[in-house]
Amino acid sequence: MGCDGGTIPTRDELVKTKKKPEQKDKAAELAVKWKHCAISLEPLQKPILACELGRLYNKESVLEFLIDKSKFEFANQFDHLRGLRDLKELKLSENPAYKGNVAEKGDAYIDTQTSEYICPVVGIELSGKYKFCYIWSCGCVLSERALKEIKSEICHKCGKTYDKNDVIVLNGTEDEVDIMRDNMNERRQKAKAAKLAKKAGKHKVSTDTSPDGPQSSKSAKLDDQKAGPSSKDIKSKLSNGKPDLKSKATNGKLEEKEAKIKSIQDNPNVSATYKSLFTTSSKAKNQEKAHWVTFNPMYY
């Protein structure tokens, strides 16, 4: 205790008080959220994906998680990830002032607070100090300040329209995550209803329609068979069964001409050389030897 004139004890030495709990390093906590994958805790690398609750992921880590979830300890926290359709690839704007970890050796200063990406409208760094959001419909990343200052339903980066419920806060608080979860469920229900409506529309197009209402193709065929042939079918059959008068007249004239011409020698349309090939020609009758066409090599 002392009290010998050399030392004077203080209250902290005499009274035992409860120690304050160790506070988390805010810089380290922000670096884990904004610079590392939420599943594998590895440094973020392009392409960077984000879910509908505002968490950041590496694409390779997400694929490994979807293939085998048993490898990951906190798989229950990512039950909302059913596939790549539940994730959006982020369109980030690079920071021109970011140089990376160049001074890894030596006594040079390394600024760990600088970020690789910034807001394209305001120029704020995406380091966790300021709120950042991304739009689900297009995937563009903007700061919350930019969305508040320029109020419109058109994306400031790509120019596409979006809904207010499509704005998702990156690494938001618990209250913000609850709101985003409700928006996620509502969005998925709308997508499911649209899919069912599309299927119903395809089914309607495939079925035949009648004045009394929709009717299947089989019943329509049976009704057609009961009704009998139509007037168009009867006309087509009659026209096919009776030949035209013009064609009949021309065919008759040709047959009369062919009947009159009994020999090839009397046909005026055949040349003389062709006629000389046969024994009926005048030249063949005057020949002493047999004609080469009518010559028979067999001797009787």
Could you tell me the domains of the chain? Answer: 26-99+111-172 (3.30.40)
Neighbours of 217 (CB within 10 A): 10
Residue tagged 């495939």 (tokens): 206
pLDDT at residue 295, as a whole number: 53
For 8, phi and psi rounded to 5 degrees? -125, 110
pLDDT at residue 291, as a whole number: 52
Q: ω before 21 within 30° of 0 (cis)?
A: no
pLDDT category at 20 given cuts 50, 70, 90 is: confident
pLDDT category at 87 given cuts 50, 70, 90 is: very high
Tell me the C-alpha distance between 165 and 179, whole Å.
Answer: 9
Q: If you average pLDDT over every residue of the chain, what do you get?
A: 76
Handedness of CA 137, 188, 78, 163 (dihedral sign): positive
